[in-house]
Structure 1
Amino acid sequence: MAGESAISADLSFHQLSASGVRALALGEGDSDVVDELLAAERSRRLLMLRALDDGLSRSGPALGSGAAVSPDEAWALLERVQKQSPEVFDDVLMCPHTGMWLSLALRRLRGTSYEDAPLWVVTGHLSALAAAAGARAGLDFSMTVPVRRGVVPLPTLGCAVVEASEPWSTAQVICGDGALRVLGARGEVAVPADRQESGPGWHAVRRVALGSKSHAKRLVLEELDPYRTFPRPSEPTLMTAAEEASWRKLLADAWGILLRDDAESADAMRPGLMSLAPVSARERFRPYSGTAGDAFGSVTASHPDDAAQLAATLVHEFQHTKLGGLMHLEALTRQAPDQDQTGPEELFYAPWRDDPRPLGGLLQGIYAFAGVARFWRVHRHAADAAYAPLAHFEFALWRTQVWSTLHLVAGHERLTPLGRSVIEALRERCAEWMADEVPDRELELAGEAAADHRARWRAHHLRPPAAAVDEAVRAWQRGESRPPAALEAEPELVPDPEGRHFDVTAILARYRVSEPEGAWRRTAALAGGVKGVDPGDVLLARGDLAGARHAYAAQLSGEGGSVAAWVGLGRALAAGQDAAARLLCRYPERARAVQDALRAGTGHGADPARLAEWLGRGGTTER
């Protein structure tokens, strides 16, 4: 094949240094550790290119109408680039979105589709990569590349917009005498001489320079590459001038915060964090962010509330990046001995998610939020007086959630030796944090938020044994003094796809500490601006227990009430009805199941508080 040398060069056995493994196990690691991960990732990408070549050779005519997009020509151009400008070759190879595309293309060749583009368009992205690399290397060439809904992506450079009558077609990329042109079926786009500048029909990649001198960091604001999003590609989404300016300022401020409060993470991000794909702002205190293991160095993030939140988000996502790189070298978990490839996977409670998570996903969350806790631990002492309460709350919440989840998985039989090392190292570090002092108010709010999230999760996803529920219904109807002991048996995990927004108590706590007398106190449900918040939740946050009890009971007495209202009722009852409150805060799934069964059998349910008080007379051993 034409690209044989490009694919086979520099493949070697990779092994992290002992100090690197230890640093990563603790959730840490500087630029030297990241350089080790990047070296391994480079070899992985080369192996994926080799696998792609093998797959393309087997596909042959199956590539269909895109035969004009020649993989052989792409391999040949990439080989020329590697020989004449190896730094350009590596830059294109190590672009995060190259990794994402390689992964999706290989899966597509194996029969799994993540988009509606024809196979030849997906695999033809290789030609777009080759054209971008060739242009950056200053080579003369002509290359046929795919057109995706009128867009010709040239990764790491930008994209050209051409007229197209069909969603999938081809264009010619021509580079000669220093000029770069894109010829579509109905016209030509001339790329500006300074390819970092946009022009008619041409959108250049936006780059941000952060810091200066030894603290300098360059980052791509990626809005063009189709493979910047996952699990499926997307079309370009251009920022407005105001959005770009806002992102530039927030990133500069966040970088300054990281340099001051988490210098090691900033040092690691300098080589390892390569691009950020912005998306629209979400609700306040609910930023969206994501990474993919195949896109090492890329982060997708919504417009943040402030620079500190963005700094925490970057730490969070870069933790995923580091752990993903480590897992490419050695697994943290093994398949359960009694589980075949099609059997059900064991699922766990994750205090940062609404859905039950598999062990691998849980470890990712532990690792990411350990980094978040580490960041807030320091930042709370550096933040200004008005922001410090929120930072104290974030630290208290996430150290609690990480600590409890570490205990949940410690010693699990499916952990590999490396997995056990990571968990034990993080427990060692988190134990130090648990001894740190936090102001009483923020500590209490964090405890309430953690307990509420867990209780809401239980109410949605756990089901007591059906026979025990039926027995409890009969006992209630007979007027017995206490529920049957069978109701205390281990509940079954039945994922509820309707479970959403279990973080509402944490969201309200953030409002409480950042705006103690804010407008949120004067509206029944934050004017509908916070998903999942019911009027009872706001009344409870305001300290109106009687009003909250009435609101929750009204919901639960009718049909279609919020499942989480059982938990809210428990918290609202805490001051006067200890048995009911304890039951609803620890085992809300029992009240939900019995009430549902009563309503199904008789057409109406019991008084929620009375039912909870009766159920509370049974055992309440923590499970």
Structure 2
Amino acid sequence: MPGERTASADLPFHQLSAMSLGTLVRGEGGGAATVEILAAERSRRLLLLRALDEGLSEDDSPPVYGTALSHRDAWSLLERVQRHAPEVFEDVLMSPPTGMWVSLALRQMRGKSSEDAPLWVVLGHLSALAAAAGARAGQDFSLAVPVRRGLVSLPTLGCAVLPVREPWGVAQVESAQGELTISGEHGQVLVPRGAEANGPGWHAVRHVVLESGERSKRLPLEELDPYRTFPRPSEPRLLSAAEAGAWEGMLADAWEILLRDEPESAEGMRHGLLSIAPTPTRERFRSYSGTAGDAFGGVTASCPDDVPQLAATLVHEFQHTKLGGLIHLQPLSIARAAQDPEELFYAPWRDDPRPLSGLLQGIYAFTGVTRFWRVHRYAAGAGQASSAHFEFALWRAQVWATLNLVRGHERLTALGQHLVEGLHDQCAQWLADPVPDAELELAREAAADHRARWRAHHLRPPAAGVEEAVKAWQRGDDHAPAGLAAEPELVPDSRFGLLDTAAVLVRHRLSEPDGAWRQAAGDAAGVEGATGADVLLACDDRAGARAAFVAQLSGEGPPVAAWVGLGRALAGEGQVRNAASRVLLRFPERARAVHEAVEAATDRAPDPVRLAEWLGQGRG
């Protein structure tokens, strides 16, 4: 029970079976592995609650309107629910927002604030959990709970809206003979019986039912709980009728795709996918999704572009969920010493350089995404097969390259090494899978474009090499000096994003060959970050794109990505131009640095094509 104080040195500890571990290190893991991880997560959740209980004091809750929150009463009610309705207790305990809340509350107790609510409001969320559990279990009780900007959240149950004058307050929740009332200083809400229907001042938690029959899955669409989002809480965001309908329909269809194409993942999700928190719609092909280790089983996601993309998103995030649970049992990498600098890596799915731990998360997630598209491309409809082939080819290449980047890294633990080798073996089997030539080439270009943009933004050639190159250019030397090819320095640049522009344009091209994206100028057609030159390149007008990129690079404050676009546009124009193309795609940071330095030294920007050709003749 939550308040138990007994302990024993002989208590068992959680350990994955060899079979479950074997599936997980291959990037798989279905129902059996998920159930084992979920059991460990339950113990972790209880330990966090124990730590919170030991740090709580009734003094943490000052009286508000003459009423104070009682942590003892909350614990007592939770214990009663655990005895009489254990299934309700477990549902509230393992709700993803509960995990996020207890983690944030412990941090705030230790002086690491993560939200603007006072500590007593954050800790008082325990009373809200107890009240929700008590109401669902049919218990009679009266309990004070916090009010946050007029909202009373009863997690897994719903949210009441009360008239208030202050941002933080206290309301009384009373349950008697099946009647649930929530009373504040200036009003009262009578919750409809069963609490599953909306009513005046009451919003019930919305659910979607996936599949039918005995194996149906009832999944909360979490709009209300403040701790449904991470890394910090947020206000409720109610879905419109149209949004709710879209989510319910697409989730049902995505579930059918998963049952057919990813049955093992679907079985794992049946046990371990515990809620989805919708977020606002974003740009097409740039949807958002996320998970957090403290909110096991919870996914936040923007409304997806189509059903297959939603299915891929669920696979992606559930991979994170499984790996997060595995890491809670045993780490994959050795923590660096406090005095050592953080080693950062290129991640093909991110704009920013990533530490080893983050890179492993990405590798694991996109192994699942690759596996999904590998199968789905043969089941996709005629209008979607080309896009699915592209996605498989793109993520297969990106995962393979990144696995080889970290394979054998000295900071990997034995489990980390085992995992990387298992994923490497899995991905190696996919390299021979055929992909149509057109989609394969598009994937290669998109992958090369992303990596080159990352280098152009984050890497800086040695200052001495750049200075030497400027002098060589001014002297008229026939090639760049060797010093320019020395190891560049990683200087993270946080002032930009959208490194995936080339891939986004490919997705538009494959799904809407004659769509409005072809007329894009800036983000006029909804392709944020795409210039007219990028669109010309995506339409295979390389001559037009070359002229447009040259114009950009000859102007004031040229976009960094234009060097990469110019490199792609110059390909196939003869030996010298091909050499220029290769240097711009492999080492665009050299062209950027020398171009800027020559302009600073001479007050005149060099011709970008001539500079690229000159750099292409270098010895580095």
Global fold match (TM > 0.5): yes
Determine if the alignment matches structure 1 residue 507 to structure 2 residue 504. yes
Report the more deviating stretch, 487-496 or 509-518.
Answer: 509-518
Which residues in structure 2 correspond to 1:457-606 (within 5 Å)?
A: 457-525=454-522, 527-576=524-573, 577-606=577-606
Cα distance, 1:6–1:195 mapped onto 2, change above 3 Å: farther
Which residues in structure 2 correspond to 1:334-349 (within 5 Å)?
A: 334-336=334-336, 340-341=337-338, 343-349=340-346
Determine if contact 1:6/1:78 at 8 Å carries over to the other structure.
no
Structure 2 Cα separation of the partners of residues 11 and 227 of structure 1: 32
Scaled by the length of structure 2, the TM-score of the pair is 0.97
Determine if the alignment matches structure 1 residue 388 to structure 2 residue 385. yes
Structure 2 Cα separation of the partners of residues 206 and 170 of structure 1: 25
Structure 2 Cα separation of the partners of residues 523 and 242 of structure 1: 29
**Runs of at least 5 residues in structure 2 that lack an aligned partner in the other structure:** none
Cα deviation, residue 62, structure 1: 5.2
Which residues in structure 2 correspond to 1:65-80 (within 5 Å)?
A: 68-80=68-80
Structure 2 Cα separation of the partners of residues 604 and 73 of structure 1: 75
Stretches (4+) displaced over 3 A: 6-12, 60-67, 522-526
In structure 2, the partner of 1:108 is 108
**Runs of at least 5 residues in structure 1 that lack an aligned partner in the other structure:** none
Cα deviation per residue 1:420-439 (whole Å; 9 max; x = unaligned)? 11110001110111110001
- Corresponding residue SS for 2:377: helix
- Corresponding residue SS for 1:331: coil
Structure 2 Cα separation of the partners of residues 458 and 86 of structure 1: 54
Cα deviation per residue 1:440-478 (whole Å; 9 max; x = unaligned)? 100000000001100000000000111111111111111
Structure 2 Cα separation of the partners of residues 160 and 214 of structure 1: 33
Determine if the alignment matches structure 1 residue 139 to structure 2 residue 136. no
Structure 1 Cα separation of the partners of residues 568 and 3 of structure 2: 66
Determine if contact 1:148/1:169 at 8 Å carries over to the other structure.
yes
Structure 1 Cα separation of the partners of residues 21 and 150 of structure 2: 46
Letter of the 2:13 partner, please give it: F
Cα distance, 1:132–1:555 mapped onto 2, change above 3 Å: same
Report the more deviating stretch, 152-161 or 212-221.
Answer: 212-221
Identity within the alignment, %: 66
Letter of the 1:4 partner, please give it: G
Cα distance, 1:218–1:8 mapped onto 2, change above 3 Å: farther
In structure 1, the partner of 2:45 is 45
Letter of the 1:159 partner, please give it: C
Determine if contact 1:570/1:580 at 8 Å carries over to the other structure.
yes
Structure 2 Cα separation of the partners of residues 30 and 271 of structure 1: 9
Determine if contact 2:34/2:272 at 8 Å carries over to the other structure.
yes
In structure 1, the partner of 2:258 is 258
In structure 2, the partner of 1:364 is 361
Cα deviation, residue 111, structure 1: 1.0
In structure 1, the partner of 2:4 is 5
Determine if the alignment matches structure 1 residue 207 to structure 2 residue 204. no
Scaled by the length of structure 1, the TM-score of the pair is 0.96
Report the more deviating stretch, 65-74 or 560-569.
Answer: 65-74
Cα deviation, residue 65, structure 1: 5.2
Determine if contact 2:517/2:525 at 8 Å carries over to the other structure.
no
Cα deviation, residue 335, structure 1: 2.0
Number of aligned pairs?
A: 614
Determine if contact 2:152/2:162 at 8 Å carries over to the other structure.
yes
In structure 2, the partner of 1:180 is 180
Structure 2 Cα separation of the partners of residues 224 and 315 of structure 1: 24
In structure 2, the partner of 1:97 is 97
- Corresponding residue SS for 1:294: helix
Determine if contact 2:516/2:525 at 8 Å carries over to the other structure.
no
Name the Cα RMSD after superposition.
1.6
In structure 1, the partner of 2:417 is 420
In structure 1, the partner of 2:311 is 311
Structure 1 Cα separation of the partners of residues 7 and 498 of structure 2: 48
Cα deviation, residue 520, structure 1: 2.5
Structure 2 Cα separation of the partners of residues 356 and 11 of structure 1: 42
Cα distance, 1:290–1:296 mapped onto 2, change above 3 Å: same
Determine if contact 1:8/1:46 at 8 Å carries over to the other structure.
no
In structure 1, the partner of 2:189 is 189
Determine if contact 1:570/1:582 at 8 Å carries over to the other structure.
yes
Cα distance, 1:580–1:65 mapped onto 2, change above 3 Å: farther
Structure 1 Cα separation of the partners of residues 587 and 212 of structure 2: 54
Which residues in structure 2 correspond to 1:228-247 (within 5 Å)?
A: 228-247=228-247
